[in-house]
Amino acid sequence: MKVWLGIQRSTGIDRRQVTPDGTRGIATGVCPGCGATPFMVQGHGRHRYTHDTFRAAGTATCCGDSVGYIYAKTVTLFGLEEDEAVLNGRARVY
């Protein structure tokens, strides 16, 4: 799984690498809210963003500021929607 944080800036998206650590992640660089380095982020409101990527609103745990969106790209054969359907009981024959 590949995880990153996208921070919206006036010059574009500032992309930071995130290393998962339990229910939170450790983001590289300086926290936009309080200046901590590196800083912990936690996602809220996860939803499917693309066929293989989840997106959640990211909050810095050091200061509580909203810092952007956390993206998690997963490995999937048929896409997240189909994987979830099969795991929840709808079997398909291919």
Band of the pLDDT at 94, cuts 50, 70, 90?
A: low
Annotated domain spans of the chain: 2-87
Entry pTM = 0.80
Mean pLDDT of 4-10: 92
Mean pLDDT of 60-87: 85
Beta bridge partners of 17: 4
Q: What is the per-residue pLDDT across 12-45, written as a single tens digit (0 to 9) for each? A: 999 999 999 988 999 999 999 999 999 999 999 9
What's the CA angle centered on 16, arms 69 and 51, to 5 degrees?
50
What's the CA angle centered on 3, arms 80 and 1, to 5 degrees?
55
